[in-house]
């Protein structure tokens, strides 16, 4: 299965690595060189993703890290972005690679919202 994972942070890299280990063709898409520094992107390309977890450690080297949206149509898109990033990034990007039958998965990361709630509750 061809899968695009938008976001190469902790959640996106973990999900992408898990899917690659399960046999998926994973396109791990960082949102641009200004958001993920060139050294980090080069490290992903050279060493893949190493996961250290209570569930067990593993690594994935078969992913295709990039800052560009893949031109290939994918069967599944996983959105690994912070919640406030969805509106401006998700729809314009995903339309380029999705088929009418493609599925979309997400794991919302609401860091800013959690900080605001903590500040309000103090």
- DSSP H helical segments within 25-110, as ranges? 38-47, 86-97
The residue ranking higher by pLDDT, 97 or 4, is 4
Range of the domain at 61: 2-121
**pLDDT tens, residue by residue, 53-98:** 888 999 898 777 776 666 678 888 888 877 767 666 666 666 677 8
At 73, is the secondary structure helix, strand, or coil?
Answer: coil
pTM exceeding 0.85: no
Q: In whole angstroms, what is the distance from residue 80 CA to residue 99 CA?
A: 19
The set of residues, in sequence order, having a beta carbon less than 8 Å from that of 90 and lying 6+ positions away, is 6, 79, 81
Number of domains composing the chain:
1
> What's 71's domain CATH number?
3.40.50.720
């Amino acid at each position: 299965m061809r899968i695009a994972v938008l976001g190469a942070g902790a959640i996106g890299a973990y999900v992408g690595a898990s899917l690659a280990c399960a046999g998926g063709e994973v396109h791990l898409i960082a949102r641009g060189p200004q958001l993920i520094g060139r050294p980090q992107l080069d490290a992903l390309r050279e060493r893949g993703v190493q996961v250290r977890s209570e569930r067990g450690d593993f690594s994935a080297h078969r992913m295709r890290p990039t800052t560009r949206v893949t031109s290939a149509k994918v069967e599944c898109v996983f959105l690994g972005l912070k919640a406030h990033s969805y509106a401006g990034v998700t729809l314009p990007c995903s339309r380029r690679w999705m088929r009418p039958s493609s599925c979309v998965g997400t794991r919302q990361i609401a860091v800013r919202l959690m900080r605001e709630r903590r500040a309000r509750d103090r």
